[in-house]
Structure 1
């Protein structure tokens, strides 16, 4: 099932919603390695879920994965061939707002080769450029 909030104060938001930047998402908290975003962007819930499934399949029993972002911003779309006006469209999908430097995934594994393979997979699947960081580099 795709990630989305259980309940929200308002069902629809304007597109330029600005979340307050959280200070705790720029340092490693759980794992030895982290996948860090280099630039700003949005990460759809479908992409996040697909990436999570591929990474869990890749890691198997060799490591543990933590997801550090959550898609809590709704995106609306109007149906095809609908005339202008008549209000805002229905909620179509959910996205996570990613500021530059935020950690997307954390993982714990014994081999650095596996961590670099995970970084290559995430770089292909996510539309934001990412890099691999280690616990010593994050401090």
Structure 2
């Protein structure tokens, strides 16, 4: 009896009973590097693979004779790349903040990003031996080819000098040579920019009626666009009615021949 009581009062028995009574919580694994996306951050929501081939930053990206993405689609002024480079998400975010801050006084002006960082860049530490797999995730980036429009500015009747000043701030934050273009600028095929280059008809941008609105019509943009569409439909119906009336009023040659006889 006394032996059993003394065995229960031993420190080892008390420690073992306390360990069994405490809940076991899962320990975090520090080796797993999670790709966290914060609100407002330029990063994809989900990807199929955690790591991907990013491509060398100085290599030339093949174009293949395509003019896609070399002209403006949303705004009236834009910034176009003249060389091949890899742009990080932080660089695009700083450009976005600078341009938005500059065009904020212009009511109705907007900024459009034409590139998105969706390539994960993995980096290994300095003086590492070869092998042992790919490095850990570092940041998101995107590859830009020559002639690609990076960002656009438009809406609210923004003037050219304001748009040029805003895009100049973005130009100073990008690691490549860019050029300022307008809605009338010709497409660019790599390093060739000529008026003879034209995109096919199916690749032409669809006109955005909201961008063409003035600052005074910004609050009722939807009503103005619907009114314009109704006016266009009315004009088309009038033209069709006029064409039908003209066909009905014109006498046929067969009837004239019968009356003459």
| Structures share fold, TM-score greater than 0.5 | yes
Residue 141 of structure 2 corresponds to residue 95 of structure 1: yes
Runs of 4+ in 1 over 6 A off after TM superposition: 17-22
Question: Superposition RMSD on alpha carbons, in Å?
Answer: 2.4
Q: State the partner residue of 1:72.
A: 118
Shift of 1:14: 2.3
Q: In structure 2, how many angstroms separate the alpha carbons of the residues matched to 1:64 and 1:138?
A: 23
Q: In structure 1, how many angstroms separate the alpha carbons of the residues matched to 2:48 and 2:120?
A: 12
Match of 1:107 among 145, 148, 153: 153
**Is the 8 Å Cα contact of residues 103 and 163 (structure 2) preserved in structure 1?**
no
Match of 1:120 among 158, 168, 180: 168
| RCO comparison, higher one (Cα < 8 Å, 6+) | 1
Structure 1: segments with no counterpart, 5+ residues: none
Shift of 1:110: 2.2
**Is the 8 Å Cα contact of residues 37 and 98 (structure 1) preserved in structure 2?**
yes
Alignment of 1:18-29 (within 5 A): 24-29=68-73
**Is the 8 Å Cα contact of residues 39 and 129 (structure 1) preserved in structure 2?**
yes
Q: In structure 2, how many angstroms separate the alpha carbons of the residues matched to 1:16 and 1:66?
A: 26
Residue 93 of structure 2 corresponds to residue 49 of structure 1: yes
**Normalising to structure 2: TM-score of the pair?**
0.48
Residue 102 of structure 2 corresponds to residue 58 of structure 1: yes
**Is the 8 Å Cα contact of residues 44 and 93 (structure 1) preserved in structure 2?**
yes
Q: In structure 2, how many angstroms separate the alpha carbons of the residues matched to 1:23 and 1:7?
A: 29
Higher helix fraction: Structure 1 or Structure 2?
2
Match of 1:10 among 40, 49, 65: 49
Q: In structure 1, how many angstroms separate the alpha carbons of the residues matched to 2:114 and 2:94?
A: 15
Structure 2: segments with no counterpart, 5+ residues: 1-39, 188-261
Q: In structure 2, how many angstroms separate the alpha carbons of the residues matched to 1:125 and 1:15?
A: 21
Q: Rg bigger for which structure?
A: 2
**Normalising to structure 1: TM-score of the pair?**
0.87
Higher strand fraction: Structure 1 or Structure 2?
1
Residue-pair matches, total: 139
